[in-house]
Structures are given as C-alpha cells and as structure tokens.
Amino acid sequence: MVETTPIVFQNRLYRFEYVRPNYKQNKTGISFFRFIDVDSGESTSAFAHGYHLGSAYVDDDRVFAYGVDAWGGSKIRAFWSRDLKEWHSETALVLPGCGIYNNSICKAQDRYIMAIELGEPAEIVGVRFTIFFAESKDLLKWRMRPLKEAFSKDRYTACPTIRWLDGYYYMVYLEEKPESTFEPHIVRSENLAEWQGSSFNPIMRPSLEDKKIANERLTPEQRTRIANAVNINNSDMDFCEFKRRTVIYYCWGDQRGTEFLAEAFYEGGLEDFLSSFF
C-alpha cells in the first residue's frame, strides 16, 4: 500500500488508496481503488477494478480518481462521484505507444493541469522516467501539452505531485541519487517548461523516523520486519491541507517491492508549506 493521496471532502479527511493485486488483504486477485475515512478508519466500496497507479482530486462537490489501464499502459480513465458510493467513468486520455505511470492534478485559474509520469518510449522520455503535462477544462477530456514542457529528460524524475499557487506550478517529484537512494525534490515554474529547484532539496531523506509505528495493531512479527527493513527511499509523496496543517503521505523501503506507507505533518497550511522552500 504505497501510492496514496490525501483529500478533504465534505470537511472530512480521506486517504485515497490504490490497492495492488499482491496486497495481503486484497482477496480479489486484481487491483482496485478505494477511500479510507481517516478519522473512523472505514473504507468505501472498491471501484475501478483492474486499474493502476491512481490519484484523486476534489472539485467542489465531486471527487475524481484517475487510473491507468495497465502498469505502463497507454490509457488514463477518469472516475467521479458525488457521494463516494456511485461512480461514473470515461476515458480521459489515450497516448498510443507510451508507458503511463503516476499522475497528479491541480487547478490553475480557468483550467486543470495533469502531471503525467511516462516511462516509454525512450525517444520521447529520454532517461526513464520523465514528467509531461496535459490540460483540461472539465476534468474529463484531456489533451497533451507541447512535449517541450517536460521535467526532466536528462535524469530519473518520477512520482509527480503538482499544485498551483500565486502564479507558480509547484511540483514534488522523486529523484534517484548516484548512491542509489530515492528522495523527493521540489521545483516550481511559471510556464511548465522552465523549472526552478529549491535550495533546500531534497525535502525529505530516508531515516529511522520513517520506521516509527503509527498502527498499534501491528503484530510483533510485523514490527520486527519494519525494524529490519532496508530503507533507501522516500517516494510517492502527496499532501493536502486539513485543519490548518499539511497532511503528507509517502512510502519508504527498498524501492524494490518491500515498501511501507508513512504519514507526516507540516504544522502550517499548504501555501506556507510550498512557498517556504523558495
């Protein structure tokens, strides 16, 4: 359970989860999406069966989720609901010949922007992975922005989370370091083509703090597994503002399949959180 998105809907904090087929509690044999009410721990019904690498976005009284038709597939499908119970869906974007992975949504004045992680083809993405952008007026029909608007073809840049604030796009992404660690960085741009990195990068680093136990129901065996796990990674970072502080979800582990979901907080609103890095 690693790629998650915190959202606020009807004044409640939810955790959107992409449940993988190999998740121990998933008895269906296929992937699906769901939302967890963070306060109560209750789960919504599963939806988007067979879709992968999801993200979530709230627009007034509608909740949207976006998923890829396969791991590295070529189609993104939009799912939306007004009550987290009844879901509608339609194809949002098709990129023939491309391998699509993680995505993230923000609103920028009169349009919506989607940051899309592509892994293929090499002649477009350069060094795997690279982030490209699409735009929409209605959150349902999307079109790609010019391919020159990309970040960044010269190195591994993955797992985007994009926000728009006061004329800037802020984007947190994952960068692979020469020593084979994976750390989140933040950049900002006024035009999606030219990006400024923060002097504070990376904004998180793997540490023993990642291993603090938050779930008291974990067994002694699970706690031992956490204590002994290799940790070279803080990835898939996503966040939202709730009750005047920033809620952050991310994962840590070995970046090779043994990974753990973690939670962090910034004691301030999202505007302060983003702007403070610059």
Note if the pTM is more than 0.85.
yes
pLDDT in tens, 214-273: 999 999 999 999 999 999 999 999 999 999 999 999 999 999 889 999 999 999 999 999
Overall number of domains in the chain: 1
pLDDT of res. 257: 87
pLDDT of res. 259: 93
The neighbouring-strand residues paired with 49 are: none
Cα torsion at 154, 155, 160, 164 (round to 10°)?
-40
Tokens of 19: 């449940």
pLDDT in tens, 12-46: 999 999 999 988 899 999 999 999 999 999 999 99
User: What is the pLDDT of the chain when averaged over all its residues?
Assistant: 97
pLDDT of res. 1: 84
What is residue 174's three-state secondary structure?
A: strand
pLDDT of res. 178: 86
pLDDT of res. 2: 87
List the CATH number of the domain containing 196: 2.115.10.20
Q: Which domain holds residue 75?
A: 4-275
- Whether the CA torsion 65, 266, 268, 237 is positive or negative: it is negative
Please say if the pLDDT value at position 180 is more than 90. Answer: no
pLDDT in tens, 73-124: 999 999 999 999 999 999 999 999 999 999 999 999 999 999 999 999 999 9
Please give the DSSP secondary-structure letter assigned to residue 138: S
Please answer whether residues 33 and 48 qualify as being in contact, where contact means their C-beta atoms are separated by less than 8 angstroms.
yes
pLDDT in tens, 45-60: 999 999 999 999 999 9
